[in-house]
A and B are shown apart, each in its own frame.
Chain A
Amino acid sequence: MSSHMTTIDTSSWPFDTVLVANRGEIAARILRTIKALGLKGAVVYHSADRKTPALAIADQAVEITGETPVAAYLDAAQILAAARQVGAGAIHPGYGFLSENADFCRAVTDAGIAFVGPTPEQIELMGDKVRARAFVEKAGFPVAPSAIEDDDPATFLERARALPLPLLIKPAAGGGGKGMRVVREADQLESEIERARSEGQRYFGDGRLYVEKFIENPRHIEVQVLGDAHGNVVHLFERECSVQRRFQKIVEETPSPALDEKLRNEICETAAGIARSAGYRNAGTVEFIFGESGGEAEFYFLETNTRLQVEHPVTEEITGKDLVAEQLRIAAGEKLGYEQQDITASGHAIEFRIYAEDAAAGFTPTTGPVLRWKVPTGEGIRMDDGIVEGGAVTAAFDPMLAKLVIRGADREEARARADAALRDLALLGCKTNTAFLRRLLNHPAFIAGDVHTGFLDANPDIAAEPELSEATLHKLLATAALTNRPMRDNADLTPDLHAAIGHWNN
């Protein structure tokens, strides 16, 4: 990727300073590209994030405040003020927070600052699941059978009842799996709709819903697209993101083990076609639900994410394209400058999300100090992380700490490298999911590439804490005793003679 960077000339760009309105690993990752392009990088931060990598990389950092740390990162006015303060000509929103907020996008643009993302109108269209779906259907692309409340609220329940079970209820303004509910029994539909509505209202301030055909054991396959302001759109192949817990992705890879060349081409061209229909500008992702019925593969449009995705690095690893650099070029008004056939992929890449959570306890979040953060190194290993030793993992933010991205000549090589890397990776002070991820990537179904979004629920043994062997227990207790000051002092006070006699106790 670095060789590609040197060919990008930023001297004619309308901005030389970019403000990153995000935190954690993604703020650090975006800032690295900004700096590699020879631009100045600035970042906003809440005091809880003072000890994070992004602040060390940024040329300037502006503190923002809020009732909660998350609220600070959602405060558009403070972020705009910070942009003016550092003289930023562009704002990169990262993912989450304000990245898909049309009002923020508009406010940034109105302030004469380039928003590194789509237009506000595109966020409004593609960011709204219901509108996006209607648009995609009208443009002639495949969508799943569904009932949309907005079409006619009075008949919503009736129309939902007419769909074949099982069904999936989703908030119209949703994301990240929040408020989604599966309904398998007809008599539960009404109460589940009410529950989904109250969750949607609470999380998104919007209780509108839609219900669609739920595909059993579906795969989640998405396609990376890039569009410039001049109407050029390309795709950068697919990512398979089927390994999920609570509808959130844990492991993503490319290419998808589920697709042959024909299907890959079909799904990627569909995604590019959807983006082209919308005149899409920016890096974006078109998500599909992929399943099989009667031996036939089927895929339906799910939603579009009008931002950089968490899992974008796997695409970068196989295509050699720096997606953040491409986003910045597009925001600067440049043309893509390449055609679909110029984009090639080689090898296989897998991303593992490192979460502060206890897999065996239902993936509940964990907190603690970052006493030691051991990052693996070696061929094909890329680590995008957002924590440093001396910092802490708190309940204030999302529990995703880092992303381990592994590249190999093929899937098997990537998997073997990942196993070794995950063995070396360690956070001391706060429990993470690394041991769980190793069990997962060594599971026969994962090895075979045979996964679906319900895979972890169907295989709870992967998340379960393995039985501690006696040998391991002895090693742990020995270490605990030997590093414990009172125990060691006590032992050292005892004359060797006594110890040598043996059978000494207490």
Chain B
Amino acid sequence: MQHGFKLLDAEHDIGLSRAREGYRLHLNQGDERIEIPVSLIQGEEGDWVLNVNGEVDHISLALDGDDVFIHLDGEVYQLTFEHALQRLAEMSAGAAADNVKATMPGSLVSVAVAEGDHVKTGQTLLVMESMKMETTIVSPRDGVVQSIQFTPGQTFDKDAVLITLEPEAEE
């Protein structure tokens, strides 16, 4: 069974199987599929002892839904488990352009359009503020504003849907 994890915007297909001791990690290296002996055992105070190919590291980790956060050698990494169905859906996604998303967390300064407005590509939809700087969000295509999710002053996280455009009519 193959599973996918996203790390730093790259996807990795991996598998896991039982070994006599511990487990085996299956992964791609170049064009080859390789296997590496791995194990992870609980250490002290919520930390873990990771063994990969005989190399031992003391790591900290935390799970949150599909996210796993790993503190390894002074750096924290985030990996996200990709559900098979979700990966399939994203591959055939045509709806992405209907949602105008926040490229970074911030707050809404002003909205330049109203629901039902016809907008053109590049037209200013709203102004958001992040890092004490204002960013103008423009329409990615011609269309009609279906809904506006936030009001000025409200804050949002990265990737929050700010404005939804009506789906484009089928040709």
Residues of A whose CB lies within 8 Å of any CB of B are: 67-68, 71, 176-178, 202-203, 246, 363-367, 369, 371-372, 374, 394-396, 422-424, 426-429, 431-432, 434-435, 438, 465, 468, 470-484, 486-488, 490-492, 494-496, 498-500, 502-506
Query: Which residues of B lie under 8 Å from residue A471 when comparing CB positions?
Result: 52, 55
CB nearest to B109 among chain A residues: A202
Q: List 23 A-B contacts (CB under 8 A).
A: A203-B132, A364-B130, A371-B62, A371-B69, A372-B71, A374-B71, A395-B130, A424-B74, A428-B61, A428-B70, A431-B76, A435-B74, A471-B52, A475-B72, A477-B14, A478-B40, A479-B48, A480-B68, A481-B5, A487-B15, A488-B16, A490-B16, A502-B35
Contact B27 A477 (CB under 8 A): yes
Query: Which residues of B lie under 8 Å from residue A371 when comparing CB positions?
Result: 62-64, 69
CA of A367 to CA of B38, assembled, Å: 32
Q: How far is the CB of B106 from chain A (nearest CB, A)?
A: 6
Contact B50 A478 (CB under 8 A): yes
CA of A395 to CA of B18, assembled, Å: 43
Q: How far is the CB of A373 from chain B (nearest CB, A)?
A: 10
Contact A423 B79 (CB under 8 A): no
Contact A491 B155 (CB under 8 A): no
Query: Which residues of A lie under 8 Å from residue B38 when comparing CB positions?
Result: 478, 481-482
User: With A366-B105, A431-B76, A487-B16 given, can you name 17 additional A-B contacts, CB distance below 8 Å?
Assistant: A367-B157, A372-B62, A394-B157, A395-B157, A428-B70, A468-B8, A472-B73, A477-B5, A479-B68, A480-B14, A481-B16, A481-B38, A482-B16, A482-B40, A483-B40, A487-B14, A500-B19
Contact B76 A480 (CB under 8 A): no
Q: How far is the CB of B20 from chain A (nearest CB, A)?
A: 6
Contact A428 B131 (CB under 8 A): no
Contact A474 B79 (CB under 8 A): no
Contact B25 A474 (CB under 8 A): yes
Interface size class of B (residues with CB under 8 A): 35 or more
Contact A365 B105 (CB under 8 A): yes
The A-contacting residues of B in range 2-46, CB under 8 angstroms, are 2-3, 5, 7-8, 12, 14-20, 23-27, 29, 33, 35-36, 38-40, 46
Q: How far is the CB of B64 from chain A (nearest CB, A)?
A: 6
Query: Which residues of B lie under 8 Å from residue A486 when comparing CB positions?
Result: 3
CB nearest to A362 among chain B residues: B131
The A-contacting residues of B in range 116-171, CB under 8 angstroms, are 130-132, 134, 153-158
Contact A432 B79 (CB under 8 A): no
**With contacts A68-B107, A372-B62, A438-B74 known, is A474 near B153, CB below 8 A?**
no
Q: How far is the CB of B36 from chain A (nearest CB, A)?
A: 6
CA of A395 to CA of B160, assembled, Å: 12
Contact A426 B19 (CB under 8 A): no
**With contacts A365-B105, A475-B50 known, is A499 near B156, CB below 8 A?**
no
Tell yes or no: B115 within 8 A of A by CB: no
Contact A506 B25 (CB under 8 A): no
Contact B40 A431 (CB under 8 A): no
Q: How far is the CB of A195 from chain B (nearest CB, A)?
A: 11
CA of A494 to CA of B57, assembled, Å: 27
CB nearest to A470 among chain B residues: B29
